[in-house]
Each structure stands twice: as C-alpha cells, then as structure tokens.
C-alpha cells in the first residue's frame, strides 16, 4: 500500500528539502560569524531568534530553487523511484541548489563592502565591470578559505543526501497510484504557493525583503534574517521606480524645492576639480573626527588633515548610496540610488541636468578621469550620458608599468597624469577624478610597503598611500597658473571597513567626508560645519560657486552662501529601507510604512521614538520624506531630470 500512496517518496522529498534548511542555517551562522562587528547581536539566543525568523525567507528561496525538482518528484511518472531517474534528479537538485547556495558565501565577504545583501542590482554592477576574470582570480586567491568552507559544506550536503535513498518500487495498482498522486500534487502545490508567498492570506503581499525587518529592533539585523538567494530572486524583474501619489505638487514645490535658482556672481569663472576617493570613509580622516571623542583614534590622512584647516569641511556628511556607481550619479547629478543603481536602470539614458551640463553651458572644458580599464564600473558610459567632453582611463594613460595588476593605474601616477593633462587644457575647466587604489586587495606599490604600515584594518595603509598621492598632486598643482582659481571638492564614494564601534552604527555606515578647498580667498571656503550634508549637496554647491544663474533641478542644497529656505536633509537606503534625516530625527521608511523614528544623535538607531501620535516635527519629517521620494520617482520615470 505504501508504494501505491508513494509515502516513501514523500518522506525522502521532505528529507531533501530539510537538508536545504540545515545548510542555509549554517550559511547564515557563517555570514554572522565573519561579520560579527557589523551587527549588534548580544547573545547566542538572539542569533538563534534571527535564524528562526529567517526560516520564512529560506522557505521561499528553497521553493523557488527546487520548484522543478519538487514537480518531478511528485508527478505520477511511474519511474520516479528507478535508479536512473533518481540519478538525474540528484544532478538537478545539486546544480540548482549549490549555485544558489554559493551566493550566500559570496556575501560572507562582499557584505563588509556593500553592507547590504546582494540583489539584482549587484548583478547589474558586475555586468558593468570589464575585468571580471581578473577580479574572480583575485578574490578566489584572497578569500580561498571561504571557497574551502563552501566546498566542505557542499560535500557534506551531498553525503547526507546520499544517506537516504529510495528503494525501487513498481506501482501495481495504477488507479490508486494516480488518484493518490493527483491529490498529493494539489496539496503540495498549495503548500508550495503558500511557502513562496510567505503565508496563505489573500490580504497580504508575497513575502518581500522589507518583511525581514518586522521582528527586529536594530535595522541591519534584517540582513541576518535574509539570505542572498532570496534577495536575488525577489529583485529579479522588479521595478523600484514606481510612481507614488502621497502629496500634491504644491507641497513638493514649497517643501522639497526640486527646482532652484541662485544669483551668485563670482568675478571669474573658477575651475572645478572634483575628487571622489574610493572607499575613503570619514572614519579614516583625523580632521573629520576631532570632536567625536573616539578613544585611541588614529588618523591615516595627514595631508588631508593639513589642508582641512584652510578648507570648508563637513563633519556630519553622508553618502546617498552604497557602491561606487551610486556615488557618480549622486555627486555629479544629485541623483541618489536606493534599491538599485540609477545608472543601471532603463531611465539613465535620458537627458540629465548635472554639474557637467551646467559647466558645459558656461563654456567649460569637462573631463572625467578613472585609472581603470575604460568602461569599468560603467563610468565611461554614464559619463557620456552626462556629456563629458573627454574621458581619460587606463587606455589614455597608455603605460601599464604603473598598473596595479587588478584595478588600474596606481593613484599616485594617475593623479600626476590628471595634473599634467589639466595644465594643457583651456580654462575654465571642470574635471572629475575617481580614485581606485584604496580598494580590496589593499595593495601598495613596492616602494611604499615599508613606508605605509597602516593600522588594524587592511585598508588603512592604502588610505595613507592615496593621501600621499594627493599631497604629490597638490604640490604639482600649486606650481600651475590654474591653481589659484580652482575649487577642489573632495569626498568619498562610500564607506568601507570599520574598526571603531562609532562607525559600525547603522547611520554612520554611510558617513563620508566632504571638503571644499580653494587657494583663492574670494570663495570663502573655510570653516568646520556640523549641519547635515550629503553627496547630493555637492552639485548645487558647485552650481552656486561658479555663478550659474538659471533654474536647475536638485534635491540637495547649496552648502555655501545664504539660503535659509533650504532644509538640511539626508536620504539613503540600506537596500530595503529608506533612511531619511531631517531636523531632530532619523526616519525609517519601507516604501509603504514608517517603521521607526529616532533622535538624530542616535546613530545606532537603538531607541525607537515612534508613537501612535507623533509630534508636529515628526509628522512634517514623514511627509517630507514621502514627498522627496515621490518627486524623485516622478522625475526619473517621466523624464523630468532637467529644470522644468
């Protein structure tokens, strides 16, 4: 009777699915173990609780991955138990499961750089990288131990799978066999649909990434609850640019002010050089931490610290994205990236008002410098969309003796290349340099290995090296006729490795420096500012400084001059949750509901102040957050990234 009802087959199927849960639990524990310092999990039981919540996301991922395997297991094919069929099923099972499982091991390392579970957006970024083979070789060598752990887990999984086998059994009473199979198929299908959705209620949407945050108090713990397979599946084919209608245009015009106009009239058009430093977070800068009171703090930026005293610096500034390509659109066009990189979206090909277009309209020569292979990170393509007149990459540098072997030309030499190139250009010019040496694998040129010893983080010595490269560049620039009429803007694309607990806090995982420097005192770029600032503010600030007097589109604000009607604010995203800072509060918004309100000084988001009756400032902050997102989406989707 058992063979007619196929009970043995269903038991084996359940066992094989159970193995998936077991190894996803192991992957989650490994993910936490390798990134413990990034999560405020204070006990083993707290970790187990997060793992328990994660089972719902594991269920959805495993059912997606094994849908064909489950279908072939329950269909009444009469050959299901035969050795040949079972061998084919084993191949299907492990090809699909181990490929998906491997993504969780990639995030064991990649998470410390991206600080979010990998999604389809990560695949988009990878697609824009043109030295994939070289990067794969490097990461395989640098993180070989993770590959070994993955292989051991896979072998253990295969061994456990083979411990329970089906005994071949023929279906003698085919009527009972087929009838019971149909009933079982319907029941299993219903369970699979419920498992993929997350529950059986019609009133709820299918389980999504934001649901990982329902049962936690510290936002980034949601990344422990999630698994990477689920994150990728749930973001495939998704459109994160959905039009919203939370408020009216009058409210947006009055409170968000997406169209701005300044009336500055500088005596001369200043040159502008924007330097975006790879991974060089605020944590590494001494001048950005003088009032933070971090015990035992050490600076790795002596040159940047030295010019900070003659610069306008912002010690409470934040990135609006998590990856390098996010920074390019944020800094140059004031367009942040939230769930996905704007530059990888189908909307990036429209006309975009930016620093580049504004400078071009004012007669500037515009150039973009990046020492990697041309096209790397999608910089060249997006630079072309923005309208840069010149692009200088590894091809134009044309001397691979200065190639670092992984990413591109060492910063020292590429800085010098930019300096000499600018000296041959007609003024005024606007140039952007995106550095690359302060990037994993954190290598140094041979001649500097004894000089720069760094600190507890692998990146520290590379920060010292890039800081020294800036010193050499500035020493050259000071000898050039264009130097005294040049405004330098220095920031970082995103944060990276953290050492001090202060910078492991949720909000400070976006903490970057912003510095404006000019030898020309007429621009009045001196002082230390602690008001909120972000990468989005760089674009309108440059527009203000160079004297562009026409309307332009910007969600940021000018950080110079007198503009009391412009509200300091910061918006970014953990990948799943918007973080909006304005006034006295930080707001967490999942796209539908506000899940937390915290004092702006509470960088770890530890004390949720959200109540049923928020005060007037809180209500205004929530409305402004939604209004900004509404206008952002509307302008991107409907092609309104120009001033209109």
140-154, 328-342, 495-509: which range is least confident on average?
328-342
Among 74, 605, 530, 94, CA closest to 317: 530
Instruction: Please indicate, yes or no, if residue 633 is contained in any of the structural domains.
Output: no
Q: Is residue 162 located within the same domain as residue 33?
A: yes
Query: For residue 55, what are the contacts with CB-CB under 8 A and spacing of at least 6?
Result: 21
Q: Is residue 304 located within the same domain as residue 402?
A: yes
Instruction: Please indicate, yes or no, if residue 255 is contained in any of the structural domains.
Output: no
Separation between Cα atoms, residue 406 and residue 297, nearest integer Å = 31
Total domains, the chain: 2
**Would residue 354 show up in a list of annotated catalytic residues for this protein?**
no
Instruction: Please indicate, yes or no, if residue 561 is contained in any of the structural domains.
Output: no
| Tens digits of residue pLDDT in 604-623 | 999 999 988 899 999 999 99
Q: Is residue 421 located within the same domain as residue 326?
A: yes
- Report, as an integer, the average pLDDT of 550-578: 92
Residues annotated in the binding site for Mn(2+), as ranges? Answer: 278, 493-494
Q: If residue 392 lies in a helix (H) or strand (E), which one and from where to where?
A: strand 390-392
Do the beta carbons of residue 213 and residue 35 sit within 8 Å?
Answer: no
Instruction: Please indicate, yes or no, if residue 580 is contained in any of the structural domains.
Output: no
Domain endpoint, select from 218, 235, 252: 235
What is the DSSP secondary structure assignment for residue 247, as one 8-state letter?
Answer: S
| Tens digits of residue pLDDT in 380-397 | 888 888 999 999 999 999
- Report, as an integer, the average pLDDT of 453-480: 97
Domain endpoint, select from 553, 581, 614: 553
pLDDT over 50 (residue 628) = yes
Q: Is residue 434 located within the same domain as residue 303?
A: yes
Q: Is residue 299 located within the same domain as residue 424?
A: yes
CATH number at residue 304: 3.40.720.10
pLDDT over 70 (residue 237) = no
Q: Domain range for residue 102? A: 6-235
| Tens digits of residue pLDDT in 530-562 | 999 999 999 999 999 999 999 999 999 999 988
Tell me the average pLDDT of the chain: 90
- Report, as an integer, the average pLDDT of 296-305: 96
Domain endpoint, select from 553, 569, 588: 553
Q: What percent of the chain has pLDDT over 90?
A: 65
pTM of the model: 0.79
Separation between Cα atoms, residue 195 and residue 215, nearest integer Å = 19
Q: Is residue 148 located within the same domain as residue 207?
A: yes
Annotated active-site residue in 324, 357, 496, 518: 324
What is the DSSP secondary structure assignment for residue 502, as one 8-state letter?
Answer: G
Distances (CA, A) of 613 to 477, 582, 598, 602, 609: 57, 19, 15, 21, 11
Q: Is residue 185 located within the same domain as residue 300?
A: no
Asked whether the CA dihedral 358, 359, 360, 361 is positive or negative, the reply is: positive
Among 421, 447, 446, 442, CA closest to 433: 421
| Tens digits of residue pLDDT in 337-390 | 887 778 777 677 788 999 999 999 999 999 999 999 887 777 888 888 899 999
The pLDDT, as a whole number, for residue 199 is 64
pLDDT over 50 (residue 218) = yes
Q: What tokens appear for 370 in the block?
A: 């990046």
Other CB atoms within 10 Å distance of the CB of residue 73: 24
Length in residues, the chain: 644
Instruction: Please indicate, yes or no, if residue 627 is contained in any of the structural domains.
Output: no
The pLDDT, as a whole number, for residue 66 is 93
HEC letters along 418-445:
HHHHHHCCCCCEEEEEECCCCCCCCCCC
Q: Is residue 445 located within the same domain as residue 491?
A: yes
Q: Is residue 549 located within the same domain as residue 443?
A: yes
Instruction: Please indicate, yes or no, if residue 145 is contained in any of the structural domains.
Output: yes
Q: Is residue 303 located within the same domain as residue 187?
A: no
The pLDDT, as a whole number, for residue 463 is 97
pLDDT tier, 213 (very low <50, low <70, confident <90, very high otherwise): low
Separation between Cα atoms, residue 503 and residue 174, nearest integer Å = 66
């Amino acid at each position: 009777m058992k063979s007619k009802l196929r009970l043995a087959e269903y038991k084996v199927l359940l066992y094989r699915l159970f193995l998936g849960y077991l190894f996803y639990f192991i992957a989650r524990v490994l993910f936490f173990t390798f990134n413990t310092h990034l999560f405020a999990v204070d006990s083993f039981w707290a970790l187990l609780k997060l793992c328990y919540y994660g089972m719902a996301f594991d269920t959805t991922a495993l059912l997606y991955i094994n849908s064909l395997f489950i279908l072939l297991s329950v269909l009444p094919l009469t050959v299901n138990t035969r050795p040949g069929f079972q061998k084919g099923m084993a191949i299907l099972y492990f090809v699909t499961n181990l490929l998906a499982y491997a993504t969780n091991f990639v995030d064991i390392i990649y998470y410390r750089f991206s600080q979010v579970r990998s999604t389809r957006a990560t695949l988009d970024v990878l697609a824009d990288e043109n030295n994939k083979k070289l990067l794969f070789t490097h990461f395989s060598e640098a993180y070989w131990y993770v590959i070994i752990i993955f292989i051991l887990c896979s072998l253990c999984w295969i061994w456990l799978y083979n411990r329970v086998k089906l005994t071949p059994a023929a279906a003698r009473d085919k009527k009972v066999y087929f009838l019971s199979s149909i009933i079982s198929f319907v029941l299993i299908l219903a369970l699979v649909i419920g498992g993929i959705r997350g529950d059986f209620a019609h009133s709820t949407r299918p389980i999504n990434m934001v649901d990982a945050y329902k049962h936690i108090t510290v936002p980034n713990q949601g990344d422990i609850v999630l698994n990477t397979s689920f994150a990728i599946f749930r973001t495939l084919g998704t459109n994160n640019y959905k039009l919203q209608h939370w408020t009216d245009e009058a409210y947006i015009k009055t409170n968000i002010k997406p169209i701005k106009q300044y009336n500055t009239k500088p005596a001369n058009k200043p040159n502008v050089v924007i330097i975006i430093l790879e991974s060089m977070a605020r944590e590494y800068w001494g001048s950005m931490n003088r009032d933070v009171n971090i015990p035992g703090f050490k600076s790795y930026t002596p040159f940047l610290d030295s010019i900070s005293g003659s610069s306008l610096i912002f010690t409470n500034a934040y990135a609006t994205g998590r990856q390098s390509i996010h920074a390019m659109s944020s800094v140059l066009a004031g367009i942040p990236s939230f769930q996905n990189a704007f530059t990888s979206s189908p909307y990036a090909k429209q006309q975009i008002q930016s620093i580049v277009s504004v400078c071009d309209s004012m007669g500037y020569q515009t150039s973009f410098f990046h020492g990697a292979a041309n096209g790397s990170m999608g910089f060249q393509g997006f630079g072309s969309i923005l309208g840069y007149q010149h692009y200088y990459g590894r091809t134009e540098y044309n001397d691979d003796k200065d190639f670092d072997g992984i990413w591109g030309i060492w910063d020292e030499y590429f800085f010098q290349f930019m300096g000499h190139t600018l000296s041959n250009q007609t003024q005024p010019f606007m140039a952007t340099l995106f550095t690359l040496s302060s990037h994993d694998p954190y290598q140094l040129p041979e001649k500097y290995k004894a000089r720069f010893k760094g600190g507890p983080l692998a990146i520290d010595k590379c920060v010292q090296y890039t800081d020294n490269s800036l010193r050499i560049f500035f020493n050259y620039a000071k000898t050039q006729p264009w130097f005294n009429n040049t405004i330098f803007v220095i920031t970082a694309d995103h944060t990276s490795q953290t050492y001090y607990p202060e910078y492991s806090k949720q909000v400070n995982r976006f903490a970057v420096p912003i510095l404006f420097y000019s030898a020309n005192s007429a621009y009045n770029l001196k002082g230390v500012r602690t008001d909120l600032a972000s990468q989005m503010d760089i674009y309108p600030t440059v527009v203000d400084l160079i004297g562009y007097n026409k309307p332009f589109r910007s969600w940021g604000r000018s950080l110079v001059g007198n503009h009391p009607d412009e509200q300091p604010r910061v918006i970014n995203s953990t990948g799943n949750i918007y973080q909006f800072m304005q006034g006295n509060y930080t707001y967490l918004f999942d796209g539908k509901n506000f899940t937390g309100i915290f004092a702006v000084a509470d960088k770890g988001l530890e004390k949720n102040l959200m109540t049923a009756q928020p005060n007037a400032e809180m209500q205004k902050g929530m409305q402004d957050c939604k209004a900004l997102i509404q206008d952002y989406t509307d302008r991107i989707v409907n092609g309104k990234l120009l001033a209109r």
